[in-house]
Amino acid sequence: MQTPGYMRHVLRLILVMVLLGGMAVPEVYSAISRPTHLDKSKNPFGCAACHVQPGKLGSLAAATTYDVCFSCHGTISQSRRIVATADISSVLRKRYRHPIVDTAATHSPDEELPEKSASTRRHVTCQDCHRIHVSTPDNALEGVKGYSARRERNIKAVREYEVCYKCHSDSANLPYNMKNKRLEFDQSNMSFHPIEGPGRNRRVPSLIRQLNVSSTINCTDCHGNDDPYGPKGPHGSNQEYLLKNEYRRTEGSESAKTYELCYSCHERQSIIENQSFKKHKEHIIYYRIPCSACHVAHGTNRNANLIEFDTNFVKMIPAATYMRGIEGRPLCYLNCHVGGRDSKHDDAFYSGKRWP
């Protein structure tokens, strides 16, 4: 997302004048910044597409906002008029989704996020991520408020993750099984995927050509519609955790499909040919161990290399230890339970064994 410049302020002023005057949207407005919903070629109904007319511009044409949206972003059966191609209503019926239909009623236009009261019900609705009078084809999140460590509440988001942090970081009502994403992606952590800024590791040989160690990525590079031809955005997916691609987290055979999520940015060949960790192939292919037994997907302050062992596989008292050794040849002190057997990694395990 871009920082809105001076022009945008001028344009916003024009919009305010339009709202106050109740006149038609001047051509200059749609010609320069082209907010989709005020563009006659995309929305021939103008304000009336969403608002009760006449004289009641603030009030929407349906009891819930998403119903207004579904009149164009829905299926033929629920719509009075379909003019949009993006059918969000069907995506929101997928197995994993933002709970918009169930929780939208809790939204208030004056709310301040992150939520400060632990007893407030969790919610999410279209307006939390979209400003409908302002969004453009280039930026669906244009003008939306965000939150991050450096920036206060209720400030316009500059980066996508700041929109997500409104509800997935310091919220007092964060569910017990959900982690604080701001802490997971904190740039002072031992390792993290590069959301807020470039990552720590200067040697990531598996990265696809389009990426390098200075790249940053977005939450929606991993979370979003599993149908690549369907509407974009983190609305719904048939993959668990609203992921775009498959990411198996149990024992089983490796294929391009089972870890497709990771292989969309990390070359499969590089990983299974041990370009970094010299025992990737042995673990992933022979012992059928999933990436998630060793790696977390967001970030961690426990270890380098996104290593945090999944306790379904790895146990050790007091704790499993990971020690970065010479490149690709780390030392682990742990007990790994896989294939119905225990494999203890300790001094005896390493003594006399030669790394490939």
**Rule CB under 6 A: is residue 320 a binding residue for ligand HEC?**
no
For the CA atoms of 153, 156, 162, 168, the dihedral, rounded to the nearest 10 degrees, stands at 50
d(C-alpha 113, C-alpha 198), whole Å: 26
d(C-alpha 336, C-alpha 316), whole Å: 8
Closer of 7 and 257 to ligand HEC (Cβ): 257
Among 88, 157, 320, 334, binds ligand HEC (CB under 6 A): 88
Residues 6+ away with beta carbon under 8 Å from 342: 335, 336
Residues between 165 and 194 that touch ligand HEC (CB under 6 A): 166-168, 175, 178-179, 181, 185, 191, 193-194
Residues 6+ away with beta carbon under 8 Å from 78: 70, 71, 89
The 241-280 site mask, x for binding ligand HEC (CB under 6 A), equals xxx---x-----------x-xx-xxx---xx---xxx--x
**Rule CB under 6 A: is residue 197 a binding residue for ligand HEC?**
no
Among 1, 148, 246, 284, binds ligand HEC (CB under 6 A): 284
CA 31 to chain centre: 32
Among 71, 148, 239, 300, binds ligand HEC (CB under 6 A): 71
Looking at residue 58, its amino acid is G
Looking at residue 332, its amino acid is C
Q: How far is the CB of 347 from ligand HEC (least distance, A)?
A: 18
Closer of 136 and 335 to ligand HEC (Cβ): 136
Q: How far apart are the first and last CA of the chain?
A: 45
Half-sphere exposure of 5 (CA within 13 A, CB side): 3
Size of the site for ligand HEC (CB under 6 A): 121
Residue nearest ligand HEC, CB atom distance: 199
Among 289, 300, 308, 320, binds ligand HEC (CB under 6 A): 289
**Rule CB under 6 A: is residue 74 a binding residue for ligand HEC?**
no
Among 52, 132, 158, 183, binds ligand HEC (CB under 6 A): 132
Residues 6+ away with beta carbon under 8 Å from 63: none
Among 158, 183, 217, 338, binds ligand HEC (CB under 6 A): 217
Among 90, 143, 157, 195, binds ligand HEC (CB under 6 A): 195
Q: How far is the CB of 92 from ligand HEC (least distance, A)?
A: 6
d(C-alpha 95, C-alpha 104), whole Å: 18
**Rule CB under 6 A: is residue 206 a binding residue for ligand HEC?**
yes
Angle (nearest 5°) at CA 44 between 41 and 45? 155
Q: How far is the CB of 1 from ligand HEC (least distance, A)?
A: 10
Closer of 5 and 65 to ligand HEC (Cβ): 65
**Rule CB under 6 A: is residue 228 a binding residue for ligand HEC?**
no
Query: 313 and 337 in contact (C-beta within 8 Å)?
Result: yes
The 335-354 site mask, x for binding ligand HEC (CB under 6 A), equals --------------------
d(C-alpha 58, C-alpha 53), whole Å: 10
Among 100, 122, 104, CA closest to 167: 122
Structure-block tokens of residue 343: 């494999």
**Rule CB under 6 A: is residue 133 a binding residue for ligand HEC?**
yes
Closer of 156 and 181 to ligand HEC (Cβ): 181
